[in-house]
C-alpha cells in the first residue's frame, strides 16, 4: 500500500463530526503507539508478518485522516529497542517490511513534496542494518525542506535510551567547557532529546487496550492528553480518532493550565539559579564579604545606597542570564549541527560513514 493512498470521499456523517470537532481545539501533535498487530494476526488466523503489513496500511490511512483534520505533526512508535528481543524471524520480517516501505516512500518522493511532508527518524539507528540506515537517511534528506506536515518515526527507540543519549551530550558539553554545570536545566535537557525540534505532544493514543506507555515519549508526554483505545491497531478507525480528539478537547483547558504552571515554575527556578551563580561569582571576587547573607551590601535596602546596590545586583543577574542563554544556544547549535551533518553524510556517501549512536537524530 502507498504511503499516500487515494483520498476517499468522506460520508456526510464524517463531515458533520469533523465540523463539530473543528469548533474546538484540534491537537497539533499526535503521538501513536500502534499496538496490536500480532494479536490481530492471531485473531484473524494470519501470519504475524501479515499483521504487521496490515498495521502499516492502517498507518498510511491514519496519516491521511490527520492531515484532513488539521493535525500537522504525527509521531509513531514503529520499532522499540525492546523489539530486538523478539524471535529472529519476526525481527528480520520487520526489518524487511521497513525496507520495502521506505523504498516505496522514496519512489513516491513527488508525492512527499506534493503533500509537503517532512520525515524524521528518531532513535538509535546504529542498531539497524546498514542498508536500512541508508534508506532512512535518504528519506530524511529528500523531505527535509517540507513544512506542511511532519511525520516522526521512532525506530530503534526507547525513551530511556533517548534520555541517556541526551545526558551523554550534556555531560560531554560540560567536559569540553562548552557549558557550565549550572547551565543544566529541563530546557537544556529536552533540547538534547531526539524530539528537540518537535512541538509539544498534545494527544498520545495507544491502541489494543493496554494502559501503559511502553517507554515511549515519557518526557514529552508529561503534559499531554492520554487516550487508551480498546481496539487492535489494524482495526483502528476514523471514529476512534474522532473519539480521541473529543477526549482531548474535554481536557484541553486542564492541560493548558498544567503547562502554564510548569512554565512559570521553570522560569522561577532559572531565576533562582542565575541569582545564585551571580552571588557565588561576587563572593569569589570580593573575598571576606558575605554576599549570601547580605546581597544588597551593608546598607539597608531602603537607603539610597541599598537601592542602588539592589539595582546593581539585578543588572548583573540580567547580564549573567544573557551570557548563559548565548552559551547554551551555541552549545545546542553545535549538537544539532553535528547530528544534521551525520544524516547528510550518510545519505550522500553511505559507504564512508561510521555510525555513532550520539548522532542518530534527524533534523528538519
What are 73-84's pLDDT values in tens digits? 999 999 999 999
For residues 192 and 169, is the Cβ–Cβ distance under 8 A? Answer: yes
Q: Which pLDDT score, from 0 to 100, does residue 287 have?
A: 64
Q: Which set of grid coordinates corresponds to residue 27?
A: 491537537
Q: Which pLDDT score, from 0 to 100, does residue 306 have?
A: 62
pLDDT averaged over every residue in the chain: 89
Distance CA 216, CA 157 (A): 8
DSSP for 240-266, please give it: HHHHHHHHHHHHHHHHHHHHHHHHHHH
Walk me through the domains of the chain, giving residue ranges and CATH numbers.
12-165+194-263 (3.40.1180.10)
SS3 assignment, position 155: strand
Phi, psi dihedrals of residue 49, rounded to the nearest 5°: -60, -35
SS3 assignment, position 30: strand
CA neighbours closer than 13 Å in the CB half-sphere of residue 162:
25
Please tell me the least confidently modeled range out of 148-162, 163-177, 335-349: 335-349
| H/E segment holding residue 167 | helix 159-175
What are 234-257's pLDDT values in tens digits? 999 999 999 999 999 999 999 999
Q: Is the pLDDT of residue 300 over 60?
A: no
CB atoms within 10 A of CB 305: 13
Q: Which pLDDT score, from 0 to 100, does residue 139 have?
A: 94
Banded model confidence at residue 356, pLDDT cuts 50, 70, 90: very low
CB atoms within 10 A of CB 242: 17
What are 158-191's pLDDT values in tens digits? 999 999 999 999 999 999 999 999 999 999 999 9
Amino acid at each position: 500500500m502507498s504511503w499516500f493512498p487515494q483520498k476517499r470521499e468522506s460520508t456526510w456523517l464524517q463531515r458533520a463530526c469533523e465540523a463539530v470537532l473543528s469548533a474546538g481545539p484540534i491537537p497539533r501533535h499526535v503521538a501513536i503507539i500502534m499496538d496490536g498487530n500480532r494479536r490481530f494476526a492471531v485473531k484473524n488466523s494470519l501470519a504475524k508478518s501479515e499483521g504487521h503489513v496490515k498495521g502499516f496500511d492502517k498507518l498510511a490511512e491514519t496519516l491521511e485522516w490527520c492531515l484532513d483534520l488539521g493535525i500537522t505533526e504525527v509521531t509513531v512508535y514503529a520499532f522499540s529497542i525492546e523489539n530486538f528481543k523478539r524471535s529472529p524471524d519476526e525481527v528480520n520480517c520487520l526489518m524487511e517490511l521497513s525496507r520495502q516501505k521506505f523504498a516505496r516512500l522514496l519512489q513516491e518522493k513527488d508525492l512527499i513534496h506534493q503533500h509537503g511532508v517532512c520525515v524524521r527518524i528518531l532513535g538509535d539507528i546504529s542498531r539497524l542494518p546498514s542498508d536500512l540506515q541508508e534508506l532512512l537517511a535518504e528519506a530524511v534528506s529528500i523531505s527535509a525542506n517540507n513544512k506542511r506536515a511532519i511525520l516522526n518515526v521512532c525506530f530503534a527507540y526507547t525513551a530511556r535510551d533517548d534520555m541517556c543519549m541526551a545526558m551523554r551530550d550534556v555531560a560531554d558539553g560540560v567536559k569540553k567547557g562548552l557549558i557550565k554545570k549550572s547551565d543544566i536545566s529541563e530546557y537544556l535537557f529536552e533540547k538534547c532529546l531526539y524530539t528537540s525540534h518537535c512541538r509539544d505532544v498534545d494527544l498520545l493514543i495507544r491502541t489494543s487496550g493496554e494502559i501503559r506507555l511502553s517507554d515511549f515519549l515519557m518526557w514529552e508526554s508529561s503534559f499531554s492528553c492520554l487516550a487508551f483505545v480498546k481496539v487492535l491497531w489494524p482495526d483502528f478507525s476514523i471514529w476512534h480518532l474522532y473519539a480521541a480528539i473529543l477526549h482531548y478537547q474535554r481536557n484541553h483547558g486542564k492541560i493548558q493550565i498544567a503547562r502554564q504552571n510548569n512554565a512559570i515554575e521553570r522560569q522561577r527556578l532559572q531565576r533562582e539559579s542565575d541569582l545564585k551563580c551571580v552571588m557565588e561569582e561576587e563572593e569569589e571576587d570580593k573575598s571576606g564579604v558575605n554576599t549570601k547573607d547580605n546581597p544588597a551590601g551593608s546598607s539597608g535596602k531602603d537607603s539610597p545606597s541599598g537601592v542602588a546596590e539592589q539595582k546593581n545586583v539585578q543588572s548583573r543577574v540580567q547580564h549573567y542570564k544573557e551570557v548563559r542563554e548565548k552559551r547554551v544556544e551555541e552549545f545546542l547549535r553545535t549538537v544539532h549541527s553535528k547530528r544534521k551533518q551525520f544524516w547528510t553524510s550518510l545519505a550522500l556517501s553511505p559507504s564512508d560513514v561510521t555510525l555513532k549512536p550520539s548522532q542518530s537524530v534527524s533534523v528538519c
